[in-house]
Structures are given as structure tokens and as C-alpha cells.
A and B are shown apart, each in its own frame.
Chain A
Amino acid sequence: MLSVKIVMKSINDIDIKVQLCKTSFEWEILAEKYSRLRDELETEFKDSEMPKEIFDALERVRGALVQKKGEMPPQDLLNFFK
């Protein structure tokens, strides 16, 4: 059984790191971490409802990650057009 406190701490850790993140490389690592955590939680709460507190925190971090991605220099599309 997961402890809500520990989960919340993990989510908040990612949140803080997102605020400090400066490069795309860091962002990708955090996004991966977030996705993994989200997957684990979804598996954990497959049969029951996810606590609102956790769900809200996950959404908040997701929002922060998306915002951060948008603030970073626009993606270079050069490779795409090769």
C-alpha cells in the first residue's frame, strides 16, 4: 500500500525540479520521471479511485512541465525536414 505522504513528496520533488530545470535534457528526464510515477500510480489505483490530493498534484506537475516545455527555446524543426 502506498503512503500518500511519500507519493506527495515524490510529486513535489518533481515539481520543484521542474521549476529549476533549465535545459531540454533535464526536462526530458523529469518528464520521464513524471510519466513513470503516473503509470505506477495508475496501476496502483487501477481498482480504486485515485485520491484527489494525488490526482490534483499530478495534474499540477503536468501543467508545470507543459509550461516549462513551452518556455524553452522553440524546438528546432531542421531535423524533421531533412
Chain B
Amino acid sequence: MGLIKEIGLAVKQELREYLVRELEAIIKTEADVKAFPKSVEKPVQKVEEVKPATEPKAEEKTQIKPVPAVEEKAMAAENSDKPEEPKEEPRREIARLNHEKIEKVLYNERPDYLLIPVDIFSELRQLPADEFALYVKFLALAQDQKKNYGYLGNNIRKRIGAEEMSQDKFREITDNLVAYGFMSTENITELQRTFTLYVPFNEEYMVRADAPQKSVKAEPEIKPQPKPQPAPKAETAKPEPAPKQQPAQPEKPMQKKGQKPDTDEAKPGRKPAKQAKPNTPKENRQKPEIPGKPVDGMENDDMYKSYKTFVSLEIDKAKMRVGRSNFDKIYMEAVKYIDKKYGFRVLSDQEKFQEYLTNYYISAFDIPTFEEWKKTKA
């Protein structure tokens, strides 16, 4: 009897525990359901409606059914995410507009105008606005840097004034230009790409980069080979303010090597570039070299290359020595000095500005001039 009684008590105990567990599970699921947003409540309520009909299996249902609710939510979220991915439009097929070969070219000198032959322009007109704009920007850059190829990265975006364009957009447009046949790109590494822009070849201004560079190399040779003129200390050692000059005049004598003096000089009334060109190199040869300026066509080319490297390193060393903020101040002084001495236009002429800036650094940081440096080497 005692045994039966104990068995009865044990069964009762078990039943009680079972019921308590069940109740706790129900309470828990209800609390979870309340915590969900309204949109998720509906499926859970449906589950509860079903409950009374199958009361004994309430535990199973309450434990299993909320899961689908959560899953549904997750599914809904996934579904809302998924469409975004396919929305990335499959790349539309682009018919090639330009079938000419894209080759690397170097400009002998900067043309005064942007060179776009009419037949090419008729193809260019068919490009979408973004692609057209970017092509023209690249073309202007090619003329500015005197070559139609280079690295395709953030720096180039800045240089062509497209830095506000997102990287993806920029990539897409360049890819489109490749598809249209106006540009070719090459992946150097995963992150680095180079480009070659299609530029209609013009013998007058260009040479092929792959061909033996006769005209480019020959040009310095034609020049009378003056002794490299180092920066005379007296002239440049102290960047003292030069006497005030008329702004438009000073830079004129500085123009040389057929450089385009300034874009604003390319006015409609001006003579075409073709006529103006033959005179410029001759005139330039007569002009005094700028002190400290690397002189082309020097006798001892290797020597001069070493000197350039030396100057570059010295400037870097000086930069570290004086510190960033001081270097910025020196730069500011250099800009002011160049403006006063050589005129305002020089500031916007990249090449000349770099020349004068280097010259200024040579003086400011007491870097030996080429002659001095050569003596120490000899």
C-alpha cells in the first residue's frame, strides 16, 4: 500500500512539474509575441487561435509555432534585401563606337587647342553625357600631361576634377568608355589600373610612345648645349621680394620650349597654333635658362639624373628636418615669391611653377647647385 501511495505521489509530482513547465513556456511565448512589432503579431495570434482545438498538444504548438513567425520576419527581411542585389542592373551591352587602335602617344608639345577631329567628334557625340564629359576631361588631361596614359586612381580623379564622383560611378564610366572603344585599361594589381586614352594621332604634335622617340629625344639634342646653369646663389639664395612688376609682363620672357603659355591666351582672335609654333623653340633657345632648372639635352645626362635624384632627396630630408608646419610656411613664401618675381600666370602653369618651386627650395634649403655638386663628385 505504501509503495502504491508513493508511486501515486511521484506521478502527482511529475504531473505538477510538467504543468508548471508548460505554463512557463506559454507565458514566455506570449511575452515574446508582445515584444514583436505589430506586423509580426498576426501570425502568432493565428497560432494561439488554433491552440484550443488541440489543447493537449499545446506545448508542441507553442514551442514550434513562434519560430515560423520569427522565420517569416527573417524571410521578409531577406526578401526586402534580396531585391536590392538583383537591382544592380545587369551590365547593358554596349556597341563599340570606335574601332581605331588605341596606342600610347606622347605629345611633343602642348597644342593650344583641344584636338578633336570632326569624324571622331561625330562618334563622341553619341556617347552618353557622363562618358562624353569624362572623355573630354581625360583628353584635356592627356594634353596637359603630354601623354595619353597613366594610372587610373584617385589622383587622376582629382586631376580631372571628378573627385566628387563616387569611385563606383567613375569605374562604371571608365568601363563604359572601354566598351565604347575610347579607352583601354589594364589591371596591374588588384587595386591598380592603368589607362590608355584613345587620342586621334596627329603627327604634328605627337609621337608614338612605343616607336623610337625621335622627335621627343631629338628635341633636346637640337638645342645648343649650354653649360647647365645652376642656381646662382646671388639671385636665388634669398627670396627677397622683387620689385613690383606689372602682372601681365613678367612671365612672357619665361615661356620656352613651345609650352602653351596660358590657356586664356588661346583666344579666338589669336593666330592658329600651327603658325605660331615654329617660332617658339627658336626664341626659347635664346632665353636664359632658369637657375636650378633641370636643363634638357645636357652633355652628361646620367650625371644630371643623379643630380635630380639628389635634389629630390635633399628636399625630402629638409621637409623632415623643418617639420610639416614650417614646410607649409616655406611653401607659402615660395608661392608669394614666385608670384612677385615671375608673375601670377606662372602659378597656374604646372611645369613652370614646379621649376621655380624647386629652384626656391634649392636656395632655401642650401642644396648645392649642379655645378657645386658636380665638383664634389669629380
Interface size on B, residues (CB 8 A): 37
B326-370 vs A, CB cutoff 8 Å, 1 = contact: the mask equals 011001111110010000110110010111011001000000000
- Is the beta-carbon distance between A75 and B354 smaller than 8 angstroms? yes
A47-74 vs B, CB cutoff 8 Å, 1 = contact: the mask equals 0000000000000001001110111001
CA distance A65 to B311 in the complex (A): 29
Minimum CB distance partner of A68 in chain B: B335
- Is the beta-carbon distance between A35 and B358 smaller than 8 angstroms? no
Q: B241-257: which residues lie under 8 A (CB-CB) from chain A?
A: 247-248
Contacts of A35 in B (CB 8 A): 262, 264, 344-345, 348
Contacts of A13 in B (CB 8 A): none
Q: A19-33: which residues lie under 8 A (CB-CB) from chain B?
A: 23-28, 31-32
- Is the beta-carbon distance between B264 and A32 smaller than 8 angstroms? yes
- Whether, in the assembled complex, B28 has its beta carbon less than 8 Å from a beta carbon of chain A, the answer is no
B166-209 vs A, CB cutoff 8 Å, 1 = contact: the mask equals 00000000000000000000000000000000000000000000
- Is the beta-carbon distance between A31 and B335 smaller than 8 angstroms? no
- Whether, in the assembled complex, B79 has its beta carbon less than 8 Å from a beta carbon of chain A, the answer is no
Task: Indicate which residue in A26, A36, A75 contacts B353 across the interface (CB closer than 8 Å).
Answer: A75
Per DSSP, chain A at the interface is: helix
Contacts of A3 in B (CB 8 A): none
Contacts of A44 in B (CB 8 A): none
Minimum CB distance partner of A74 in chain B: B331
Q: B73 to nearest A CB, angstroms?
A: 46
- Is the beta-carbon distance between A81 and B309 smaller than 8 angstroms? yes
- Is the beta-carbon distance between B264 and A69 smaller than 8 angstroms? no
Residues of B within 8 A of A (CB): 158-161, 163, 247-248, 262-265, 294, 308-309, 311-312, 315, 327-328, 331-336, 339, 344-345, 347-348, 351, 353-355, 357-358, 361
Sample (28) of A-B pairs whose CB atoms are under 8 Å apart: A23-B161, A25-B158, A25-B161, A25-B163, A26-B161, A28-B348, A31-B344, A32-B262, A32-B348, A35-B344, A35-B345, A38-B248, A39-B265, A62-B344, A66-B339, A66-B347, A67-B332, A69-B335, A70-B333, A70-B334, A70-B336, A71-B332, A75-B353, A77-B357, A77-B361, A80-B351, A80-B355, A81-B308
